[in-house]
Structure 1
Amino acid sequence: MSRLKIIRYTAWAAVVVLAFVAAVTMVTQIVAPKGGDSVQRAAIGGPFTLTNAQGEPVTEKDLIGKPSAILFGFTFCPDVCPTTLSEMQGWIEALGPDADKLNYLFITVDPERDTPQVMADYVSAFDARIQGLSGTRPQIDEVLTAYKVYARKVPLENGDYTMDHSAAVYLMDADNRFFGTIAYNEAEETALAKLRRLIDGAAPES
């Protein structure tokens, strides 16, 4: 194996570990009760304007009426994103007709490379119901801030770069309020139970 490949694989492995740690830290900060108070959830989500494959604007208002499962990532992602999108594809199949009661979004954290068309081509390999969204750098930064998503560019020794980012799937209810998360590589039966609760309009678990 060449020295360059070793460097690249080492960098990718570090990104996966950092993304997992960041996701766990982020979720812990979100759901940890403070002084015995109820779980704090209102801080996740907010206004955004992004672009779909047809070049049309998509805002948070377009999600209202259906619960949503939202993954933030990028198309050059070596592991976390394709793995999670494959899992999402499996959830859609397992839910059967109920799958159409959810919105599924894959929002890039790397708009410089992930144009709307690149995103559309990428998600088409998984399920047509997963919508890939991109936008300008300021638009992406806005949605990352609104959803408290961690994302950071990581330079590689060959002059290229990868992205370190939160790995959880964000669950939003039909009013686009934060419901909870599905962790990276969470057991399928646990993920499906959360999605069914979301579809049924049940209260989030504390």
Structure 2
Amino acid sequence: MRRMAKDRTILILGCLAAVLLLATGGLWLSRGEADAFAPCRKGLEAGGLDGLGSPFTLTDQNGARVTDRQVLAGPALLYFGYTYCPDVCPMDSARNAEAVAILDQRGMRLTPVFITVDPKRDTPEVLRDFTGAMHERMIGLTGSPAEIDAVAKAWRNYYRLNDQEDPENYLVDHMTNSYLVMPGAGTVGVFDRELSAPELAERAACFIDAASIAGI
């Protein structure tokens, strides 16, 4: 009888250990699935980018009203700037366009998106000239000041118009991050302007590959 009780205790303990092992493994797997992009993230990205972005409706470079579902239907690289910017915005946009071209050669499609922070001057026509000079697939977006303010805040992208003294010829202070947005996953990467086009392409490729592997 004592031996049977001992065997039963061993059996129960073994079952409990198996359940604990399965639960721990399931938790580990769920974390792995939730963080499919972990190998691609660096710096602040490692802490996650939850909360960046929101639905929007803006006007594209052709004058059409478009939504985030249309613009961000595939992997996209968002940049906030303005076409009257004397140096930084053209350089950053050209870098982004070059990175997209590099990925095109690798069979990876990434759409560059330019969202103006200067809607008063950046009309659809002005945006069309700017984006057309950068990349054939680049999308330019503008809107009312309230719409631009809302979308910039959604991506925590600060900007400030310095038009108090001269309402026609002025500069705009703004952040220069580029945001990688993946359908079904939201904003997964934030890249600063110090990255070269090949480096940016390599970083973006990691995220695109990870999304494909995870079925996102």
TM-score by length of 1: 0.73
Kept in 1: contact 2:97–2:112 (CA 8 A): no
Task: Name the one with the larger helix percent.
Answer: 2
Q: What is the count of residue pairs matched by the alignment? A: 169
The percentage of counterpart residues that share the same residue type is 32
Q: CA RMSD in A?
A: 2.3
| Gap change, CA 1:193 and 1:152, over 3 Å in 2 | same
Asked which structure has the greater RCO (Cα within 8 Å, sep 6+), the reply is 1
In the alignment, the residues of structure 1 paired with residue 44 and residue 183 of structure 2 have an alpha-carbon distance, to the nearest angstrom, of: 23
Aligned counterparts of 1:53 and 1:40: Cα–Cα separation in 2: 32
Counterpart position of 2:56: 48
Counterpart of 1:201 in structure 2 is 210
Unmatched runs of 5 consecutive residues or more in structure 2 = 1-42
Aligned to 1:190: 199
Structure 1 88/40 Cα, relative in aligned 2: closer, same or farther at 3 Å? Answer: closer
Q: Is the 8 A contact 2:179 2:190 kept in 1?
A: yes
| Structure 1 residues 1-206: aligned runs within 5 Å | 32=44, 39-98=47-106, 101-155=109-163, 160-175=169-184, 177-202=186-211
Cα distance in 1 for residues equivalent to 2:166 and 2:145: 24
Deviations 1:120-175 (A, max 9, x none): 11111111111111111111111111111110012486663210001011111122
Shift of 1:100: 5.9
TM-score in terms of structure 2 length: 0.70
**Superposition deviation, residue 95 in structure 1:** 1.6
Q: 1:192 to 1:150 in 2, by over 3 A?
A: same
Whichever of the two has the greater Rg, that structure is 2
CA distance in 2, matches of 1:171, 1:124: 21
Q: 5+ unaligned residues in a row in structure 1: which ranges?
A: 1-30
Aligned to 2:134, what secondary structure does the other structure show?
coil
